[in-house]
Chain A
Amino acid sequence: AQSVTQLDSHVSVSEGTPVLLRCNYSSSYSPSLFWYVQHPNKGLQLLLKYTSAATLVKGINGFEAEFKKSETSFHLTKPSAHMSDAAEYFCVVSVRRSNYQLIWGAGTKLIIKP
């Protein structure tokens, strides 16, 4: 069975400081992993995805994530936070054997302090 755990429901950082959003997954098969972002009252936008190629994945808006199989983690990082990064971030796992259904984490709300 697949599962996703986002370790923090809220993360608060000051503008210009690094961002770290933590995600651990569990999967019996080789997973595909995604981060989606949802700004207030907006839709879900794909930030980045890992599909068994390079373990360090670069996404949009300066975000990146590293797939660490030994730690079953897929943490999202950004070197310097911007006010426009304030949003909710979802870590998601997908397995081909499950018809590509997405298993969603509970979400992490990122708060940016001026």
Chain B
Amino acid sequence: DAGVIQSPRHEVTEMGQEVTLRCKPISGHDYLFWYRQTMMRGLELLIYFNNNVPIDDSGMPEDRFSAKMPNASFSTLKIQPSEPRDSAVYFCASSLLGTQYFGPGTRLLVL
């Protein structure tokens, strides 16, 4: 199994631009989680899905952030417009029966 796949691995963009992060979960997993990690705040849960349905998005910082899961094998996290304070590493994780497996992360830098 290839594990959780995230793309791109690195993204550098300018303030105001739209950023789309992508995630392919492990096949057969029924939960998908999006996290953000920064030095200041550590690891934060942004949103999670169960069977493609968003369950809790209370961690999404503001309306500039949105996430979708159109099918069981794909999810996106979109930031529009991006701001420098969005610079972080964004992780996607998927799970079945409680054990979460993480992707390698997307390192986002907003200039």
CB <8 Å contact, B42 and A106 = yes
- What total of A-B pairs shows CB separation below 8 Å? 47
Taking residues whose C-beta sits less than 8 angstroms from the other chain, chain B's interface range is: 20 to 34
Name the segment of B20-28, B63-71, B76-84, B94-102 touching the other chain. Answer: B94-102
Chain A: CB-nearest residue to B92: A43
CB <8 Å contact, A43 and B42 = no
B34 CB contacts on chain A under 8 angstroms: none
B24 CB to closest chain A CB (Å) equals 15
Name the segment of A19-27, A72-80, A97-105 touching the other chain. Answer: A97-105
CB <8 Å contact, B45 and A99 = no
Which among B50, B98, B103 is the interface contact of A32 at CB below 8 angstroms?
Answer: B98
CB <8 Å contact, B98 and A96 = yes
Count of A interface residues, CB-CB < 8 Å: 20
CB <8 Å contact, A43 and B105 = yes
Chain A: CB-nearest residue to B4: A43
Q: How far is the CA of A44 from the CA of B93 in the complex (A)?
A: 10
Which among B50, B56, B99, B102 is the interface contact of A45 at CB below 8 angstroms?
Answer: B102
Which among B91, B98, B103 is the interface contact of A100 at CB below 8 angstroms?
Answer: B98
A56 CB contacts on chain B under 8 angstroms: none
A42 CB contacts on chain B under 8 angstroms: 104
Chain B: CB-nearest residue to A44: B102
CB <8 Å contact, B48 and A101 = yes
CB <8 Å contact, B99 and A43 = no
- CB pairs A–B below 8 angstroms (18 shown): A34-B99, A43-B102, A43-B103, A44-B93, A46-B101, A46-B102, A49-B99, A51-B99, A94-B98, A94-B100, A99-B48, A100-B31, A100-B97, A100-B98, A100-B100, A102-B33, A104-B42, A106-B42
Interface residues in chain B, defined as those with a beta carbon under 8 Å from any beta carbon in chain A: 31, 33, 42-43, 45, 48, 50, 55-56, 91, 93, 95, 97-105
